[in-house]
Amino acid sequence: MKPYICEFSSSLSPQCQMGWTYVASTDCCYMALNSSGTWGLMSTKCRDAGGDLVSIHSTFENSITSAIAYNAGITQAWIGIVVGNQNDNSTWTWSDGSKLNYTNWGTSVNGENVTGYIDSIDNFLQAQWNISAPGESRQCVCKTASFT
């Protein structure tokens, strides 16, 4: 039995391409990729699929991202957060160019790592973010604008 975290309206069509899940409250489409790779490789795979690594802009969207990952059997997924300035590890940005207006950092965010992932295994409901070396291998969640 999977835990219940939130209810959201979703549909497959016509707002999204096949394989993507539409979420009306964000007017975006989401897709978990079950293949694994580095942050850069998974970013490329998301772009090849028509989106980008997910950017998260609210607690609700964080829960949606975690739920989509969890439902695909993913416990740690790359998200699109990345250090914007390699000389200053405190400046983070979204790979899709959207504004960083929400964060949900866990406790292990210090260090010299420059990419982020959402961690649903330890606390699925909170789904906190952690940082990692970009060369580690993880699955990911992608996001794109809907057709509407």
pTM of the model: 0.84
| pLDDT at residue 46 greater than cutoff 70 | yes
Q: Compute how many other C-beta atoms are within 10 angstroms of the C-beta atom of residue 145.
A: 14
- What pLDDT digit, counting tens, does each position of 57-116 carry? 999 999 999 989 988 988 889 999 988 765 555 678 899 999 999 988 876 655 556 678
Domain boundaries, the chain: 34-140
- Give which of 118, 13, 27 is closest to 68, Cα–Cα: 118
Q: What is the CATH number of domain 34-140?
A: 3.10.100.10
- What pLDDT digit, counting tens, does each position of 111-135 carry? 556 678 877 555 556 688 888 888 8
Q: What are the structure tokens assigned to 80, written together?
A: 């699109």
